[in-house]
Structure formats: structure tokens, C-alpha cells
Amino acid sequence: MKEIQKTFTPLVIFLTLVMTIGLTLQACAYEDDDDDDEGFSRFLPARMDFRPADDPQYREECGACHLAYPPGMLPARSWQRIMSGLEDHFGENAELDAQTARHITEYLSANAADRSHTGRAPNIARSLGVDAPLRFTETRYFLRKHHEIPPRLVVNNPDVESFSRCEACHTGAERGDYDEHQVRIPGVGRWDD
């Protein structure tokens, strides 16, 4: 018995160490901010980061002026705040008739980050806690994903100008594909961090 213990104790200690290091590394990977932390995206043929905006009325009314942002980018409480202030929609007037507004609010809420199980939505909902931000680009989740991008590539880039214009760099934005490997920054090209 003693003999067995002598042989196995170092082995058990060794295995425990290996597992601890492994788990720590994995945890670190989740802290990292590049794309590969959310599943092994590189090895999957196609991944959906967001369920794309697929409601015809939402696409028509909101998509007329800007990218029809995937509802999964913000929680329902954020969409409700946005939809109740369309008269001053980030400085623009985007008023809708009551019936259309109600339909779009329902669609956005039903597919919001805190109600969707697709792609990044659950992680976004988790990172927000109880916050109800009006802009996805001001969330910690978004900033963590974009903090390495210098101003000259977006804000000072005349072909981009704003982080709100996802589609300027994310060539798959309309499809709900925000994988960093399909990023093409106008005047710059691919982005690899």
C-alpha cells in the first residue's frame, strides 16, 4: 500500500498542477480581447455572431438611414429606451407612426441580447448586467473588442469616421458576421491583431 502511495502521490500532484495551469490559461484566453476566445471560430466553416436583422419593417424603417443593427447587440430595455425617443434619435428625427413603432419595438425586444441565444448575444447580455445603454459602441463589451484600433483607422479615417458604421469595416455585417477575419478597413485592408 505504502509502495502504491509513493508511486501515485507525485503523479496526482503533477496531474492536478497540469489541470490547474490548463484552466488558468483557458480563463486567461477568455479575458483576451480578440475573436478566437468565443469558441474555436478559426476551425468552424461559418459562425453566426448575431442573428441578422430579418424583420422587413425594421429593415425598411431603420435600415433606410443606417445599418439595421442586429437586435442581439443590445438588451430589450435598451431597445425600449431607443424606440421611445425617436424624435431625437442621436440628433436625428426618426419618428414613426405608433403602429410601426410598436411592431419594431416588439421585434427588437423579442430578439434582444438578453432574450437571444445566438452567437455573441448571451455574452453581451451578461457583460451588461442591468445597464441599459443607448449605444452598443459605448458598452464595455464593444470597447474591449475594439480597444487596439487606433483613431486613424476609424474616427480619423475619412471612409469610416465612426464606430457606429459597422459595415464600413465588417464586410459581413449585414449577414450578422463580425468575425475579425472578414474585417477590411477602407484604405488600410485586413486587420490582424
Residues that bind other proteins (CB under 8 A): 64-67, 87, 91-97, 161-162, 164-165
Least Cβ distance, residue 183 to other proteins (angstroms): 18
Least Cβ distance, residue 96 to other proteins (angstroms): 8
Residue closer to other proteins by CB (options 64, 130) is 64
Residue closer to other proteins by CB (options 12, 65) is 65
Residue with cell 422587413: 56
Least Cβ distance, residue 38 to other proteins (angstroms): 28
Least Cβ distance, residue 172 to other proteins (angstroms): 18
d(Cα 108, Cα 191) in Å, to the nearest integer?
Answer: 31
What distances in angstroms separate CA 148 from CA 2, 42, 46, 67, one per listed residue? 56, 20, 25, 23
| The amino acid at 22 | G
Least Cβ distance, residue 106 to other proteins (angstroms): 19
74, 112, 129, 137: CA torsion to nearest 10: -10
Least Cβ distance, residue 142 to other proteins (angstroms): 17
Residue closer to other proteins by CB (options 9, 162) is 162
Residue closer to other proteins by CB (options 76, 83) is 83
Residue closer to other proteins by CB (options 13, 155) is 155
Residue closer to other proteins by CB (options 65, 143) is 65
